[in-house]
Copies of this chain bind each other. A is one copy, B any other.
Amino acid sequence: MRPYSHFLDQIKEAGLRPTRQRLALSKLLFGVENRHVTAESLHGEAQGEKMRVSLATVYNTLHQFTKAGMLREIVVDAQRSYFDTNTGSHHHFYFEKDGQLMDINDEMISIAKIPQAPEGMAIKSVDVVVRVVDK
């Protein structure tokens, strides 16, 4: 487990105050590698760990961390927003059955030809979602 100071510094570097809530959520999010969470799931997790954080603060924090580049938002479901602690370029499996996301190892996929953006536009990202279902 990373030391307390790691989370503290990360938050400070983002220009945010290291509040009890942000530290708690940081620990959950960045304590292990490659997590995919929704606001609800993270909030539930925090409550399970007896951390007192409101759902509104979870939403705020996820957005602040995303803006600071610590998280990446993934759109796979029209019903809820997912956040990925892996901010590097990579793609996802999405299990429609239970709403789970899984990273696709970058060597496992390759986009051979990327289209040009329409006139006057720039490509911001290329997101691949492989939807999988039970066989």
Contact = CB atoms under 8 A, between A and B. Distances in A.
Nearest to A108: B115
A133 B121 CA distance: 6
Size category, A interface: 35 or more
Nearest to A105: B115
A67 B27 CA distance: 43
Contacts of A123: 130-132
Interface stretch (A15-23, A29-37, A43-51, A75-83): A75-83
Interface string A74-112: 011111110000000000010110000010110011111
Contacts of A120: 134-135
B124 A96 contact: yes
A113 B108 contact: yes
A129 interface: yes
B115 A125 contact: no
B95 A121 contact: yes
Nearest to A125: B131
Interface of A: 73, 75-81, 93, 95-96, 102, 104-105, 108-118, 120-135
11 contacts: A75-B75, A78-B81, A93-B117, A102-B118, A108-B115, A111-B128, A114-B130, A120-B135, A121-B134, A125-B130, A129-B129
